[in-house]
């Protein structure tokens, strides 16, 4: 193992976002590419907004994508995630070291005072920032605040002016003015709970992170964090910030604007293949030098190159994701696709088909699917005891005299179909067409309508073979009944 150590550090303030999944993926790929370690850490110090249900959603989503982590509390099975709330006392201890070395101080400002400051700044059209008023409190003020029973927060000194700079693994040289960081920052709230920017640094040091790969919305946080690393006398890890994901109108992908479309579990429910999500997300802003488009997670691990990740905003394109998904639905083994299709096939149970029959059914419809949930409708006619034929099809397709002839002839030979051989079944239908001088729609549509209630669908030979003799006969007879009733009216 190399010393490369990276992490995904989601805050469970929301469900697993596609952008977080992509960040997790890039970290995972980077770790595996360099023989390193991938770590999962829940940044759950925002007590009001963190929810256990979000935690469970995030963990389940990452596991579904097979982005499993290499370290964590041992719970006798796959590792649990690290959770920051379990280290609260430790962060406070480290913050006290900063007070001792003069880079942090107690701040006694109340919520009301801070809100007032914000309003004044707004009225004066100034950017909101803390005015560092508690940096140099007089003894008298301090005593007064303590007498009032105010419980202090701990703030970190952000010295100004200065430039914070680093070489970013994706964006190149970055320089941020410390005057743009919002003034001295709270690192431990008056409740004793560390804030994100502080806990993240303490943990990244404790966990010996070598690289921090996270979305570019954290660039200003990185500048703040670099100052904390300095104050703690340590060298920061390498940073790399991939561009965020946008929609086609160049709006940041967000739960507020895009709802469930940003939620990984939504794609699982719709029947997306995790392989497709991983393959697509890997390529949203990275393309392998090898020029490969379709690759597994394992192959991605061998090719991943952070320096080839694009700096430009990436567009999340569902059409392209669908293209990957169709590919994997066609390409994964039939047994896997059939297993994964089960939740979408409630009618299979009790239908009389065997598992082997079902695999054949899945095989004949899967080429036409974009998501696996579409299999419910695509296969419904196989399982339903009777086919519903719409009035429109009765009036247009079955009302034709030639349709009755086709159906009659097919019914006559229905005991002779080689049901184990779809191509053989199709050949017999084509023979009937030749005899009657019919082809295309005139020949196939009445049979398709009779067997499935639709004029389009899987290969006709496969439909006949998979339905089997009893169903084929019963459906042809029922449809002939409609033909006759139409023609006598």
The minimum distance between CB 13 and ligand GLU, in angstroms, equals 8
Catalytic: 255?
yes
- Report the residue number, 26 or 344, with the smaller CB distance to ligand GLU: 26
Question: Which window, 9-17, 114-122, 163-171, 403-411, contacts ligand GLU (CB under 6 A)?
Answer: 9-17
Q: Does 203 bind ligand GLU (CB under 6 A)?
A: no
Question: What gap in Å lies between CA 71 and CA 37, rounded to an integer?
Answer: 8
Q: Does 237 bind ligand GLU (CB under 6 A)?
A: no
Residue with tokens 């794609």: 267
Q: Does 358 bind ligand GLU (CB under 6 A)?
A: no
- Report the residue number, 23 or 452, with the smaller CB distance to ligand GLU: 23
- Both tokens of 253, joined, read 């992908």
Q: Does 9 bind ligand GLU (CB under 6 A)?
A: yes
Q: Does 209 bind ligand GLU (CB under 6 A)?
A: no
- Report the residue number, 240 or 465, with the smaller CB distance to ligand GLU: 240
Q: Does 216 bind ligand GLU (CB under 6 A)?
A: no
Residue with tokens 């256990």: 52
Question: What gap in Å lies between CA 397 and CA 452, rounded to an integer?
Answer: 13
Contact string 33-52 vs ligand GLU (x = CB under 6 A) = ----------x---------
8 A C-beta contact, residue 197 and residue 224? yes
- Both tokens of 295, joined, read 């690759």
Q: Does 200 bind ligand GLU (CB under 6 A)?
A: yes
Residues 6+ apart with CB under 8 A from 195: 45, 185, 186, 187, 188, 189
Q: Does 227 bind ligand GLU (CB under 6 A)?
A: no
Q: Does 83 bind ligand GLU (CB under 6 A)?
A: no
Residues 6+ apart with CB under 8 A from 182: 128, 129, 130, 158
- Report the residue number, 239 or 353, with the smaller CB distance to ligand GLU: 239
Among 4, 11, 82, 106, binds ligand GLU (CB under 6 A): 11
Q: Does 87 bind ligand GLU (CB under 6 A)?
A: no
Q: Does 197 bind ligand GLU (CB under 6 A)?
A: no
Four-CA torsion 144, 150, 152, 153, nearest 10 degrees: -140
Helix (H, G, I), strand (E, B) or coil at 31: helix
Name residue 38's beta-bridge partners: 6
- Report the residue number, 12 or 422, with the smaller CB distance to ligand GLU: 12
Question: Which window, 4-12, 74-82, 310-318, 379-387, contacts ligand GLU (CB under 6 A)?
Answer: 4-12
Closest CA relative to residue 403, chosen from 444, 458, 440, 451:
444
Question: Which window, 8-16, 78-86, 106-114, 129-137, contacts ligand GLU (CB under 6 A)?
Answer: 8-16
Question: What gap in Å lies between CA 438 and CA 403, rounded to an integer?
Answer: 10
Q: Dump the DSSP string for 60-112.
A: HHHHHTT---S-S---SSSPPPEEGGGGHHHHHHHHHHHHHTTSEEEE---HH
Question: What gap in Å lies between CA 201 and CA 368, rounded to an integer?
Answer: 49
Contact string 146-185 vs ligand GLU (x = CB under 6 A) = ----------------------------------------
Kindly determine how many residues on this chain lie close enough to bind ligand GLU according to the rule CB under 6 A: 7
Name residue 163's beta-bridge partners: 177
Please give the C-alpha separations between residue 416 and each of 268, 350, 436, in angstroms, as whole numbers. 43, 27, 18
Kindly name the residue from 255, 292, 408, 439 that is annotated as catalytic.
Answer: 255
Question: What gap in Å lies between CA 69 and CA 175, rounded to an integer?
Answer: 33
The minimum distance between CB 123 and ligand GLU, in angstroms, equals 32
Q: Does 16 bind ligand GLU (CB under 6 A)?
A: no
Q: Does 464 bind ligand GLU (CB under 6 A)?
A: no
- Report the residue number, 45 or 414, with the smaller CB distance to ligand GLU: 45
Residues assigned a catalytic role: 255
List interacting residues with ligand GLU (CB under 6 A).
9-11, 43, 200, 214, 218
């Amino acid at each position: 193992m190399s010393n490369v150590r990276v992490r995904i550090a989601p805050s469970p303030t929301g469900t697993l976002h596609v952008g977080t999944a992509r960040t997790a993926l890039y970290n995972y790929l980077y770790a595996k590419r360099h023989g390193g370690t991938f770590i999962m850490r829940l940044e759950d110090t925002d007590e009001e907004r963190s929810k256990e249900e979000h935690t469970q959603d995030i963990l389940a989503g990452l596991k579904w994508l097979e982005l499993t982590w290499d370290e964590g509390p041992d719970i006798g099975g796959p590792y649990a995630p690290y959770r920051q709330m379990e280290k609260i006392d430790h962060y406070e201890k480290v913050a006290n070291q900063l007070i001792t070395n003069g880079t942090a101080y107690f701040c006694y400002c109340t919520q009301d005072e801070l809100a007032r400051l914000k309003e004044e700044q707004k009225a004066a059209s100034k950017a909101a920032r803390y005015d560092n008023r508690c940096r140099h409190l007089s003894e008298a003020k301090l005593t007064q605040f303590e007498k009032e029973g105010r419980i202090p927060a701990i703030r970190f000194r952000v010295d100004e002016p200065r430039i914070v700079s680093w070489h970013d693994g994706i964006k190149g040289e970055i320089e941020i003015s410390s005057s743009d960081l919002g003034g001295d920052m709270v690192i431990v709230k008056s409740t004793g709970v560390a804030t994100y920017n502080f806990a993240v640094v303490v943990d990244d040091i404790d966990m010996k992170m070598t690289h921090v790969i996270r979305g570019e919305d954290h660039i200003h946080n990185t500048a703040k964090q670099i100052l904390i690393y300095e104050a703690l006398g340590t060298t920061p890890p390498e940073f790399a910030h991939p561009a965020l994901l946008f929609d086609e109108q160049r709006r940041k992908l967000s739960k507020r604007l895009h709802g469930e479309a940003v939620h990984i579990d939504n794609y699982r429910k719709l029947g997306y293949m995790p392989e497709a999500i991983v393959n697509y997300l890997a390529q949203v802003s990275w393309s392998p030098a090898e020029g490969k488009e379709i690759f597994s997670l394992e192959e991605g691990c061998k090719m991943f190159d952070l320096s080839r990740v694009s700096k430009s905003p990436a567009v999340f394109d569902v059409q392209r994701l669908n293209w990957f998904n169709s590919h994997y639905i066609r390409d994964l083994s039939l047994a896997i696709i059939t297993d994964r299709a089960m939740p979408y096939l409630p009618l299979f149970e009790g239908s009389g088909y065997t598992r082997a029959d079902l695999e054949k059914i899945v095989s004949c419809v899967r080429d036409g699917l974009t998501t696996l949930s579409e299999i419910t409708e695509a296969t419904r006619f196989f399982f339903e005891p009777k086919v519903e034929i719409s009035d429109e099809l009765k009036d247009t397709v079955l009302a034709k005299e030639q349709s009755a002839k086709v159906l009659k002839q097919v019914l006559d030979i229905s005991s002779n179909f080689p049901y184990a051989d779809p191509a053989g079944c199709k050949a017999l239908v084509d023979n009937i067409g030749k005899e009657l001088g019919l082809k295309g729609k005139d020949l196939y549509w009445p049979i398709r309508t009779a067997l499935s209630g639709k004029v389009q669908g899987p290969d006709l030979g496969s439909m006949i073979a998979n339905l089997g003799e009893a169903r084929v006969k019963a459906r042809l007879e029922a449809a002939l009944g409609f033909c006759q009733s139409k023609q006598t009216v």
